[in-house]
Amino acid sequence: MELSLHKEPLSLENAEEAKGSLCASVLVSPVKRDLIEKLYGCGVRYLSTRSIGYDHIDLKAAKECGMHAGNVSYTPDSVADYAVMLILMAVRKVKSIFLKSAAQDFSLSGLQGSILRNKTVGVAGTGRIGRAVIRRLAAFGCRILAYDLYENDEVRKQARYVPSAQLLSESDILTLHMPATKENFHFIGRDALSRMKNGVILVNTARGTLIDSLALAEALESGKVGGAALDVMENETGIYYHNHEGEALSNRGLALLRSYPNVIVTPHTAFYTDQSVSDMVENSIRSCVLYSEGKKNPWQIV
């Protein structure tokens, strides 16, 4: 396969550069109807996103246009390691420790944390990443609850599946590993937050739309939520992966949440390891090759 590399994200302005290519590989650039139609007009018939999530691609428009699309898989270890790191940072109040230390306040006031062994950790979503998180959490000796529409026998060895209502009401810590779907939109909203334990800690390394950002801000301000660690955020497109130094952020939820001392915000970096990036690039190319050869493609979605 001949590769044509471009530094800029795919857009209407540069889509013409794909002319003559059967396949196009993108990362998280929004690919809406107008862009799909333009790519199709350039001869592109398969769109591969170098990510597990594909909610940035208008699949309905792709189907109607005749464009095929697929995602990729990569090692679950990168996100799983990161999620557990965020859990530990949240329960040990690491952000507050950093802030106080930076101001040369080395007192222990307000820094007493807790240990995972004494906690009930809920894992929402038990796909490859969720299962990898559960395997890691089991080593800490905590009680683990799990929720998924499709239960897995491997999970039952180290966690107990419960309905979503029970997951919300019994978890001291809740880590999200669910896809972004219409059904999961604002999985954690005002109603869900009201049913959770006082002082609950929320961790999200999945998709920003799973949490209602402004509802979470209210719950943090009231003390209902004790802390959060968020690697993804609602409406992060156009903000994350760009330098906005000196600008007012055009995302009120993000601006609010990152200002709280008990909220850790990172810019969608959980996946970003040498192994995952290698997997993403390799599997995107392999997916394009399989499509172009008319062979069975495990990553093809439409």
Is 268 annotated as catalytic?
yes
Please indicate, yes or no, whether residues 178 and 218 belong to a single structural domain of this protein: yes
Catalytic residue among 236, 244, 282, 286: 236
* SS3 state at 143: strand
Q: Cα-Cα-Cα-Cα dihedral of 157, 159, 165, 169, to 10°?
A: 160
Q: Please check whether residues 205 and 141 belong to one and the same domain.
A: yes
- Please count the structural domains in the chain: 2
CATH of residue 37's domain is 3.40.50.720
Q: Give domain status of residue 6, yes or no.
A: no
Confidence of residue 1 (pLDDT cuts 50, 70, 90): confident
Of the residues 16, 268, 282, 286, only one is catalytic, namely 268
Domain that holds residue 84: 77-265
Handedness of CA 84, 129, 288, 301 (dihedral sign): negative
Question: How much is the average pLDDT of 278-293?
Answer: 98
Confidence of residue 35 (pLDDT cuts 50, 70, 90): very high
Residue 236: active-site member: yes
Q: Is residue 298 part of a domain?
A: no
Q: Which two tokens stand for residue 191?
A: 């109603």
Location of structure tokens 């955020």: 233
Exactly one of 68, 131, 207, 234 is catalytic; name it: 207
**Does residue 173 sit in the same domain as residue 282?**
no
Task: Report the pLDDT averaged over residues 105-123.
Answer: 98
Nearest residue to 206 via CA among 225, 227, 187: 187
Q: Is the pTM of this model over 0.75?
A: yes
Q: Same structural domain for residues 91 and 151? A: yes
pLDDT digits (tens, 9 = 90+) for 135-147: 999 999 999 999 9
